[in-house]
């Protein structure tokens, strides 16, 4: 089915390999009759209640996206219809890293967890499931203004720089999702997993860019309200897919706040209902706030703060010079001058150089396996930056092939060596100079010595951008995700399988429009004696007997 899904929707053909690693077969046959009953119950409740409280785009979108109230949607069916509004959907195995989740959105692809919540958590679950993802997210994207916001959020969000604490929280929430939806988990195991999430949430330290943009995502895409502050409508998928919270969220006990950039600094707790919600006047306002936030991010500001964010993240990131040269790797150090301006950056481990998101030929990780270091700034006592020098200027300052030169930068960086050659961009700007027999120092500190090989000096006066991930995704091996062989929810006990047989009987009667009242009454009696706590099947039976 997976190949058919990918072939049917042209949008999915654009997905890069590092995102395809998270995509799984939906395995529609794994949905048990009880799962289908859970879907029916939630959807019938929602369709009955939501028209009065949800944004009008929701019910309109249900029809446009082909989502039925009677059965769990298939990815194939959804993709067949979503392509008409310029979107697609893929199934993934539960929670995936935030950057990957955001990048899927940037490609106009909805990420849908194939699993479905248990009856015990039918009103709300912190685990991503197909009710939340397909019935919550998909209908709203039929609204063009909202769909563009979602795409733009993904485009900006996937470049937000994260922290080690973000990864710790991700692992804690992922574990909670697995434990809570595993039918064999004990209450103590669930409590322990929830407490661990709370503990990590309460000790996050200074929030990273990824943490802040996830807050914006949560208070809009997941838990957003729209319209009048005193009588708002629901559009957030977390609210639309939660029977309980879609009602309680509109009560006076939940504080309603006008949506502004301040929402980025309001944290959330995935383990309990939210005490406050943000109300946007319209979908266009979401994009206005997003751009306001993006203007504060390192991807647009660069500078020392951007480099420091990359260093603190301890993850693969990119720094871009004003010449357009992009350095991708794990940043380990930045040297500053007396005015606290960056004058030298250093990566450790495999590093790649790119220009306009394309790796420079000869400068992949194979060429820089142990890191890359280079100065930032202008030469001392020379008004013209190197990147602004004409061929005549370069020759005058002896920056030409075969010349042995000594370059002294403002801030104390010196480079002494023989010029080999330089690389230019399409506009003719020199962006990289290679030296042999080269020594690089910061005053007396040795940064590079001749025995280390050829030295490549990035050219540029300042760092204009810093962002998460590589400039060219092909430069690095990013295929690291291991997919679970079997979703937790398909592991069934014998007693549960017998119960599901009863669910199947009732389901077959409904779908075949062949109601056997005596058999239904017999099943109801069996339920009372063997499955007294199961209310959902009894509800299904009563519905058919009416």
pLDDT tens, residue by residue, 21-54: 999 888 888 899 999 999 999 989 888 888 899 9
In the numeric block, the tokens 């500053």 are attached to: 336
Pick the range with the lowest mean pLDDT from 95-104, 135-144, 477-486.
477-486
In terms of average pLDDT, the best of 31-35, 77-81, 178-182, 449-453 is: 449-453
> Is residue 482 one of the residues assigned to a domain?
no
What is the token pair recorded at 452? Answer: 């280390």
Q: Identify the residue with better confidence: 271 or 516.
A: 516
Position 242 pLDDT exceeds 90? no
Range of the domain at 534: 492-545
> Is residue 481 one of the residues assigned to a domain?
no
For residues 30 and 119, is the Cβ–Cβ distance under 8 A? no
> Is residue 10 one of the residues assigned to a domain?
yes
pLDDT tens, residue by residue, 157-206: 999 999 878 888 888 887 887 787 676 788 888 889 888 888 887 777 78
Pick the range with the lowest mean pLDDT from 114-128, 401-415, 455-469, 485-499.
485-499
Are 9 and 102 in the same domain? yes
pLDDT tens, residue by residue, 373-405: 999 999 999 999 999 999 899 999 999 999 999
> Is residue 485 one of the residues assigned to a domain?
no
For residues 483 and 341, is the Cβ–Cβ distance under 8 A? no
Of the pLDDT bands very low, low, confident and very high (cuts 50, 70, 90), residue 340 is: very high
Are 185 and 274 in the same domain? yes
Position 127 pLDDT exceeds 80? no
Are 284 and 402 in the same domain? no
Of the pLDDT bands very low, low, confident and very high (cuts 50, 70, 90), residue 489 is: very low
Are 471 and 524 in the same domain? no
Mean model confidence pLDDT for the chain = 90
Of the pLDDT bands very low, low, confident and very high (cuts 50, 70, 90), residue 1 is: very low
> Is residue 511 one of the residues assigned to a domain?
yes
Strand order in 109-113's β-sheet?
Answer: 23-24, 88-92, 109-113
Of the pLDDT bands very low, low, confident and very high (cuts 50, 70, 90), residue 92 is: confident
Residue 258 pairs in a beta bridge with 279
Position 118 pLDDT exceeds 90? no
Q: Determine the pLDDT at residue 249.
A: 93
Q: Could you give the percent of the chain with pLDDT greater than 90?
A: 64
Are 275 and 181 in the same domain? yes
Q: Determine the pLDDT at residue 429.
A: 92
> Is residue 287 one of the residues assigned to a domain?
yes
What is the token pair recorded at 28? Answer: 């529609």
Distance, in Å, from the CA atom of 331 to the CA atom of 311, rounded to the nearest integer, reads 5
> Is residue 535 one of the residues assigned to a domain?
yes
Are 441 and 517 in the same domain? no
Checking 227-230 for CB contacts under 8 A at 24+ apart, the result is 227/55, 227/279, 227/281, 227/282, 228/279, 229/256, 229/258, 229/279, 230/256
Are 417 and 470 in the same domain? yes
Q: Which 3 state secondary structure label does DSSP give 467?
A: strand
Position 483 pLDDT exceeds 70? no
Cα dihedral value 480, 300, 310, 201, nearest 10: -80
Are 276 and 404 in the same domain? no
Task: Give this prediction's pTM.
Answer: 0.88
Burial class (CB in 10 A: 0-12, 13-18, 19+), 517: exposed
Average pLDDT of 284-299? 98
Distance, in Å, from the CA atom of 321 to the CA atom of 457, rounded to the nearest integer, reads 12
Are 423 and 535 in the same domain? no
pLDDT tens, residue by residue, 312-329: 999 999 999 999 999 999
Q: How many CB atoms lie within 10 A of CB 84?
A: 11
Q: Determine the pLDDT at residue 9.
A: 76
Write the CATH number for 23: 1.10.800.10
Average pLDDT of 260-281? 92
Of the pLDDT bands very low, low, confident and very high (cuts 50, 70, 90), residue 491 is: very low
Question: Which among 470, 415, 419, 417 is positioned nearest to 441, based on CA atoms?
Answer: 415
Are 322 and 271 in the same domain? no
Of the pLDDT bands very low, low, confident and very high (cuts 50, 70, 90), residue 486 is: very low
Give the single-character DSSP code of 478.
Answer: -
> Is residue 306 one of the residues assigned to a domain?
no
Q: Determine the pLDDT at residue 244.
A: 82
Are 116 and 214 in the same domain? yes
Q: Determine the pLDDT at residue 183.
A: 67
Q: Number of structural domains, the chain?
A: 3
Distance, in Å, from the CA atom of 377 to the CA atom of 372, rounded to the nearest integer, reads 17
Are 460 and 498 in the same domain? no
Q: Determine the pLDDT at residue 209.
A: 96
């Amino acid at each position: 089915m997976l190949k058919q899904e990918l072939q049917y929707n042209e949008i999915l053909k654009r997905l890069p390999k590092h995102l395809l690693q998270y995509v799984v077969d939906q395995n529609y046959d794994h949905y048990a009759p009880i799962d289908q009953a859970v879907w029916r119950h939630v959807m019938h409740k929602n369709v009955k209640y939501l028209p009065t409280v949800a944004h009008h785009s929701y019910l309109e979108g249900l029809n446009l996206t082909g989502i039925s109230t009677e059965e769990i949607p298939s990815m194939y069916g959804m993709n067949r219809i979503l392509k008409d509004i310029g979107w697609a959907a893929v199934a993934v195995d539960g929670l995936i890293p935030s950057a990957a989740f955001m990048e899927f959105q940037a490609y106009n692809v909805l990420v849908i967890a194939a699993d479905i919540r248990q009856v015990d958590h039918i009103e709300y679950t912190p685990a991503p499931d197909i009710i939340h993802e397909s019935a919550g997210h998909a209908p709203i994207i039929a609204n063009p203004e909202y769909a563009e916001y979602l795409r733009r959020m993904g485009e900006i969000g996937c470049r937000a720089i994260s922290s080690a604490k973000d990864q710790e929280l991700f692992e804690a929430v992922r574990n909670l999702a697995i434990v809570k939806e595993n039918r064999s988990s004990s209450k103590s195991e669930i409590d322990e997993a929830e407490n661990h999430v709370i503990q990590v949430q309460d000790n996050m330290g200074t929030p990273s860019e990824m943490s802040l943009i996830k807050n914006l995502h949560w208070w809009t895409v997941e838990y957003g309200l729209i319209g009048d502050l005193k009588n708002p409508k629901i559009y957030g998928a977390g609210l639309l897919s939660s029977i309980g919270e879609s009602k309680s969220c509109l009560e006076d006990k939940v504080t309603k706040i006008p949506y502004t950039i301040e929402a980025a600094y309001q944290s959330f707790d995935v383990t309990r209902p939210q005490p406050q919600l943000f109300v946007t006047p319209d979908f266009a306002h979401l994009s206005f706030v997003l751009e306001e936030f993006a203007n504060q991010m390192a991807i647009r500001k660069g500078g020392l703060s951007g480099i420091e964010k990359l260093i603190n993240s301890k993850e693969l990131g990119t720094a871009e010079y004003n010449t357009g040269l992009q350095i991708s790797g794990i940043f380990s150090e930045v040297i500053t001058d007396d005015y606290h301006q960056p004058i030298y950056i250093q990566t450790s481990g495999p590093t790649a150089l790119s220009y306009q998101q394309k790796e420079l030929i000869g400068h992949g990780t194979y060429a820089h396996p142990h890191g890359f270091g280079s100065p930032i700034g202008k030469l001392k006592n020379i008004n013209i930056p190197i990147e602004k020098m004409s061929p005549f200027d370069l020759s005058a300052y002896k920056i030409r092939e075969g010349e042995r030169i000594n370059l002294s930068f403002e801030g104390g960086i010196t480079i002494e060596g023989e010029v080999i050659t330089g690389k230019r961009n399409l506009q003719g700007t020199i962006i990289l100079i290679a030296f042999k027999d080269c020594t690089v120092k910061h005053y007396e500190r040795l940064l590079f010595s001749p025995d280390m090989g050829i030295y490549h000096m990035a050219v540029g006066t300042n760092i204009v951008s810093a962002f998460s991930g590589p400039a060219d995704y092909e430069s690095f091996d990013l295929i690291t995700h291991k997919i679970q062989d079997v979703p937790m929810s398909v592991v069934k006990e014998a007693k549960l399988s017998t119960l599901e047989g009863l669910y199947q009987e009732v389901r077959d009667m409904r779908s075949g429009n062949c109601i056997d009242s005596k058999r239904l009454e017999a099943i109801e009696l069996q339920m009372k004696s063997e499955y007294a706590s199961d209310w959902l099947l009894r509800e299904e039976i009563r519905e058919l007997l009416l």
